Amino acid sequence: MDQGPENNLKSFFNKIGDMFVPKEIAPYLGMIAPMVAPQLGIVGSMALSQLGSFKQHGGKFDPYSAVATGIALASPQARAIRAQGRAGGPGTIGQQLSRGIAEGLGGASTTAGRALDPRFSMKARDFTFGDTNYKTFFESDAAAAADFAKRGTQGGFTELADAAGGNAFNTDLINDPKQVKKVYGDMYSKEYFDQGALDSKKFLQKEFDAKYGTFMDDVEFKNSEMFQDLSASEQAKYDSMNLQDQREFRELYGRGATEGTMGTLKDAGLFTKAGEMGSQLAGAIFPGFGEYDPVTGAFQGKFDFGKALQTVSIAATLGSLTAIGEELKKQKQLDEAKQKEIWSTWFNSYERTTGKPYSESNYADPILLEKFNRFMLATGGRVGYNLGGLTEPVGIMGSSGVPQGMQVDGRNGTFIPMGVEEKADDVPAMLSKNEFVMTADAVKAAGDGDANVGAQRMYDLMHNLEAQV
């Protein structure tokens, strides 16, 4: 039977989860993904955020973990790490893997290699750095500027553009992997890349300053409104700092405080400013685990317990919402089954007494009639009915609570609260090959005498076993 596109897709993702995720770590991946998103990268962290849900919840996506991971990816630290990777530094783990794959395809000397290498564009592009116009295959303006400063027109990936259209690229170099290795080996070889070196750091700093403004010196900072807004004790604390600590303080609070140091962002468009505000908000939500270099995103070795606690708490909360929702859903199913059991008993008793179902009563109460329609004629859900069964079940009489010609859909596992009594075999049900049905005594024994508790425990056992397939 065709399950439909949605179920087929869930089945596919369920298999993915089974293939790649051990059941022991599945519950924690949605929480871990936002914490490692800046270092792991976009594709890797988004995949990690969903793999646990695929394993636990039968191929279902976890939207809350995806949102949390997206917020973490938008933080200034994450953006800085990706910018570093485009400029030639280590970047994210995903960027490193992508570059390694590109190396196997000929590296930057091939179109396919440039398509996968985060540092390069497939086609040459125009850019301006300072007051100079260039053409380049580099994705990062900082990397292009660093390349031209080091190679000039002898390089193969960046050229100075003039009024006549610019100097021609060194196409021989571009199309020759050996020459690329020879010319760019020290700056762009895999070995250099793996060492985490960043030759274009100073150019990235220039880009950063041009966008956000320059740091103020001590005199500028003390004359600024920002310093004046500090309390007397805060000003005294600043004065007591050593020079390095004062500089770090200004880097955190003194950038862009005056008109002359604000940078080009002040003239940016609405969407650019909105993006920057969103990034700052993301950084406030997921501050990471300490201080980091605002230019490269590199951790500076200063662990901050408060930031770490906030990051872990928010990631754990958002990453567990889907699991909590699934548990609430199962509880709701059991609550519905319990109500069905109670009302079925009452309506069955009414029918045995009067000889007709409550729906045919001449004095039916509207509230009770609603209960009858809900619990005795209901369709859908894990304990719902299915119209695709036998119109005249062979060997099984239709029980009160199951309309004639309908069956309980037990193909996905379900608790049976309706029926006349245990072991009466009076509930018609649809089952599938290789399924196993427990007796009422077994269900009660699993719940220490309580059938509903036993059903809950058997649901849990079923889900755990399904996750191991």
Residue 400 pLDDT? 41
- What 3-state DSSP class applies to 271? helix
Sheet holding 429-430, edge to edge: 385-386, 407-409, 429-430
* Percentage of the chain modeled with pLDDT above 70: 77
How far is the first Cα of the chain from the last one, in angstroms, to the nearest whole number? 21
Residue 269 pLDDT? 84
Q: Give the CA distances from residue 330 to residues 67, 93, 357, 426, 432, in Å, rounded to whole numbers and listed in that order.
A: 24, 38, 30, 25, 22
Of 147-161, 300-314, 356-370, the range with the lowest mean pLDDT is: 147-161
Residue 296 pLDDT? 86
Higher pLDDT, 456 or 50: 50
Let me know: does 115 contact 122? Beta carbons within 8 Å. yes
Residue 89 pLDDT? 81
Question: In the predicted model, what is the mean pLDDT of residues 108-118?
Answer: 87
How confident is residue 166, by pLDDT bands cut at 50, 70 and 90?
low
Residue 334 pLDDT? 72
Mind listing the pLDDT tens digit for each residue in 119-129?
888 888 888 87
Higher pLDDT, 97 or 12: 97
C-alpha span between 455 and 140 (Å, rounded): 59
Which uninterrupted H or E stretch holds 430?
strand 429-430
Residue 393 pLDDT? 37
Beta bridge pairs of residue 409: 430
C-alpha span between 154 and 157 (Å, rounded): 9
C-alpha span between 61 and 436 (Å, rounded): 28
Residue 423 pLDDT? 58
Tally of helices (H runs) and strands (E runs) in the chain: 21, 8
Higher pLDDT, 424 or 452: 452
Number of Cβ within 10 Å of residue 320's Cβ equals 17
Mind listing the pLDDT tens digit for each residue in 70-105?
999 999 999 999 998 888 888 899 998 998 898 888
C-alpha span between 459 and 413 (Å, rounded): 8
Mind listing the pLDDT tens digit for each residue in 280-311?
899 999 999 988 888 888 888 888 899 999 99
Q: Which of 403, 406, 400, 444 is nearest to 426 (CA)?
A: 400
Residue 24 pLDDT? 81
Which uninterrupted H or E stretch holds 302?
strand 299-303
* Summary mean pLDDT of the chain: 77
Q: Looking at this protein, which amino acid is placed at residue 409?
A: D
How confident is residue 229, by pLDDT bands cut at 50, 70 and 90?
confident
Structure-token pair, residue 132: 């100079």
pLDDT at 397 over 60: no
pLDDT at 378 over 60: no
Residue 67 pLDDT? 93
Residue 391 pLDDT? 34
C-alpha span between 441 and 67 (Å, rounded): 45
Residues counted in the chain: 469
- What 3-state DSSP class applies to 4? coil
Question: In the predicted model, what is the mean pLDDT of residues 225-242?
Answer: 85
Let me know: does 122 contact 70? Beta carbons within 8 Å. no
C-alpha span between 167 and 31 (Å, rounded): 51
Of 160-174, 403-417, 418-432, the range with the lowest mean pLDDT is: 403-417
Cα Rg of the chain (Å, integer): 33
- What 3-state DSSP class applies to 26? helix
pLDDT at 40 over 90: yes
How confident is residue 440, by pLDDT bands cut at 50, 70 and 90?
confident
